[in-house]
Amino acid sequence: MNSRAPAGAVLSREPWQGTPILDAHAHLGPYNRFFIADPSGAAMLRVMDRCGVSGAILSSMLGVELDADAGNEETAALCLAHPSRFAGYVVVNPWQDPAGQLERWRDHPAFVGVKLHPDLHEYPLDGRRYRPVWEYAEVTGRPVLTHTWAGSQFDDLDHLDRVATDHPRARILAGHAGVAPSSFGRAIDVARRHPRVVLELCGSHNHGRAIAEMVGAVGPGQVAFGSDFPFIDLRMSLGRMLFAELADEERAAVLGGTMASVLSAGHAGGTALLDRFRRGPAH
């Protein structure tokens, strides 16, 4: 176990120069329920550069909270403008033609996976309207990032367990890993049962202690850094990760290696993002 903390490097205020970082859970744009100081793609890039983050995989908040079609267009535009920094998740809203959304964006170079938000869309993760998503994930190898929230009637960890059981070839990123510290044990159990389930770390209640426990329980290959920015500031989640008591190779995997492997397994998409990631932090 490496207990060396980067306090000195952080206190120097210089961006991260270590192993490259991929943010597996990002968004774009404003959100109706609260004010975000600057949710633009330009501001996101600025924060990434400030912190030394190589790339982020994002979904538009417009797509998540209102209009999947318009939001996916917004995601595509940003990713095409900065293909080495951003790649997109296609937002699939179960009430807005799921199969049509997948078909429309299937071969678009901006997209590398699918984003589901069962809580906001008030539809269960294991409901039949999501079937095209799981078929898509199993055929293409592309990941599905789903919001998970322990106790939710729509995306509790039991829902996750069921879809992972029914679709064993699907790569599923469990967004927030259930979010509550009391749920992390159940998230670990699900990941242990399903080797293609990856625990994603963003949320308001995570801690370096819990991250180390997750990595110890399921291995760094099933844990991925995400921030939820610009919903939450990227530095909240990154701070937990950089100081967590992890071995160097574990930290490297969680910060980006795991997500790079997930993306590499999918068919096409994200090439420039992965190229930059593999060249390292100097690029």
Partner 1 sequence: MTEHQRGMSEQLRLLDVAASLGRHPAHEVGSGSPAAMISTLDRYGIAEAVVAHTVATHHEPAAGNARVLAEVADEPRLRPCWTVLPPTCGELPGAAELVTQARAGGVGLFTVRPGSHGFDLAGPDTAPLLEAAAEHGMPILVDAPETDWAAVEDAAAAHPELWLIVSEVGYRELRRLCGLLERRPRILLCTANLSGHLALEFLVHRFGSHRLVFGTGQPVRDPGEAVLRLLWSELDDADVRAIGGDTMRGLLATSRTTVEVA
Q: Which parts of 193-252 interact with partner 1 (CB under 8 A)?
A: 204, 206-209, 229-244
How far is residue 13 from each of residues 21, 173, 225, 283, measured CA to CA in Å?
17, 31, 21, 19
- CA–CA gap between residue 3 and residue 141 (Å, rounded): 36
Q: What residues numbered 15-54 form the site for partner 1, per CB under 8 A? A: 15, 33-39, 43, 46-47, 50-51
Q: Which of 1, 11, 128, 282 binds partner 1 (CB under 8 A)?
A: 11
In the complex, what is the shortest distance from the CB of residue 21 to partner 1, in angstroms, rounded to a whole number?
12
Q: Does 128 bind partner 1 (CB under 8 A)?
A: no
- Shortest Cβ 58–partner 1 spacing (Å): 13
CB nearer to partner 1: pick between 25 and 196? 25
Q: How far is the CB of 237 from partner 1 (least distance, A)?
A: 8
Distance CA 269, CA 251 (A): 25
Instruction: Name the residue nearer to partner 1 (CB basis): 195 or 239.
Output: 239
Minimum distance from CB of 50 to partner 1 (Å)?
A: 6
**# residues near partner 1 by CB under 8 A:** 44
Cis peptide before 143 (omega within 30 of 0): no
The CA distance from 59 to 140, in Å, is 19
As a whole number of angstroms, the distance between CA 195 and CA 14 comes to 36
Whichever of 37 and 282 has its CB closer to partner 1, that residue is: 37
Left (φ > 0), alpha (ψ -120 to 50) or beta: where does 231 sit?
alpha
Task: Please report the sign of the dihedral spanned by the C-alpha atoms of residue 168, residue 133, residue 136, residue 183.
Answer: negative
* Interface pick for partner 1 out of 109, 181, 219, 266 (rule CB under 8 A): 181
Which of 119, 115, 137 has the alpha carbon at shortest distance from 71? Answer: 115
Question: Which residues are near partner 1 by CB under 8 A?
Answer: 3, 5, 7-8, 10-15, 33-39, 43, 46-47, 50-51, 181, 204, 206-209, 229-244
